[in-house]
Amino acid sequence: MRPLSYTQISTYQTCPLSYKLQYVDGLEPEAKWYFSFGDTLHKCAEYFFRQRLPGYPSLDELLDFYHHSWCSDGWPSPEDEAREKAYGEHILREFWRIHTRDFRVPLATERMFITDIQGVKLRGFIDRIDKLDSGRLAIVDYKSNQQLFTRDYVEGSLQLTLYQMACEQMWDMPVERLTLYHLRTNTPVSSGPRTREQLDEAARLVVTVAENIAAQRFPATENQYCPCDFPQYCPYYRHQYGEPVPDRSKPEPLRGVDIAAAVERYARLLSDRKDIDNQIEELRDLLVQYCQVEGLNRVYGPEHAVTFRMVERKAYDQDAVKAILEPLGLWHQVLQLDPKKLGDLLKSGDIPPDVQQALVAATEVVSTHAQLWVRDLKKDREE
């Protein structure tokens, strides 16, 4: 099996079928502007920190690199592209201002790794690795998400967990800090290192994903990103986006069926049923209230009658039942007071009548609700 990457693992977690379509079948997703924008900013951050003498690049050098690295794939319009390109320049000016104040050459940038996790090869690239004064490592991953992530998000990031595992295997040095750097706001959000339990849990997840891929388990899983770039292959969206299936390919009962009309009719009937259920509930409340106020058990219309009765639901007082049955050695038969078992015991004839009476007396009403029965008077008259 080829090495897995964090992106592949994340894709499989989100939708195994999407993983198969991209990484097994080799389908290429459509270019998207936010990926183009993010990739360009990533390259610029790497360029800034790439080791050189005497130090970091000038602002003009960074911006020149930005314009030469700009990716025009996937933009919805030239106006959108121009606006974001100007915004990206603003981001990099601030990035340069912040990081030139206390510039330190990192231990590595865009460092490729291949590591082994319980027999599963994991491959990836870490944006930046710093060596701190403590001698420990700090891992930084750049993100161009629209919104700033929370501390909880960083602490739960599987990507950072896997990067910690890789770094500690590569250099045999402990990791002290894990950071997601939000490029749009030039804001680092950091957490401490993962615990041994968290690392072990991540390792189990990687192994599980690898086993599922090896077993070719690729079910479609609907998620917040649906529909993806391949809806014509997805059982949730194929009917909407794919080619219609010819009638001759369908079993006889489905030929000529207008399934779109069936969908709409089904939805309308469900909506009608909801309205009807609401009307029934309103009338039920009215009938119950009328019977209670008037002291009636039955009310009549020209063709139907409705009978009213309050129904009590009873339950046994557990302490009282235990006190009755334990001296007789019978408590174990209804241990934890299973009402069905207790009912069976009462019917069995194994207990004296006085004990039966005591058990019946140990019941208490736990709730009451009204019940209505409808009688068809016309049918009664015909019979």
* pLDDT at 316 (0 to 100): 72
Give the pLDDT confidence of 128-156 residue by residue, as tens digits. Answer: 999 999 999 999 999 999 999 999 999 99
Place of tokens 């770094």: 167
* pLDDT at 51 (0 to 100): 62
Q: Is 180 helix (H, G, I), strand (E, B) or coil?
A: strand
* pLDDT at 246 (0 to 100): 82
Among the listed residues 56, 34, 55, 168, the one whose alpha carbon sits nearest the alpha carbon of residue 178 = 168
pTM of the model: 0.75
Residue 9: exposure state from Cβ atoms within 10 A (0-12, 13-18, ≥19)? buried
* pLDDT at 371 (0 to 100): 64
**Structural domains of the chain ordered from first start:** 6-214 (3.90.320), 297-382 (no CATH)
Distance CA 227, CA 212 (A): 23
* pLDDT at 84 (0 to 100): 96
* pLDDT at 322 (0 to 100): 80
Helices and strands per DSSP (H, E), number in the chain: 14, 8
* Residues of the chain falling short of pLDDT 70: 51, 53, 334-339, 342, 362-383
Distance CA 175, CA 153 (A): 18
Token pair belonging to 167: 């770094």
* pLDDT at 180 (0 to 100): 98
Distance CA 15, CA 223 (A): 8
* pLDDT at 128 (0 to 100): 96
Amino acid at 198: Q
Amino acid at 232: Q
Q: Is 200 helix (H, G, I), strand (E, B) or coil?
A: helix
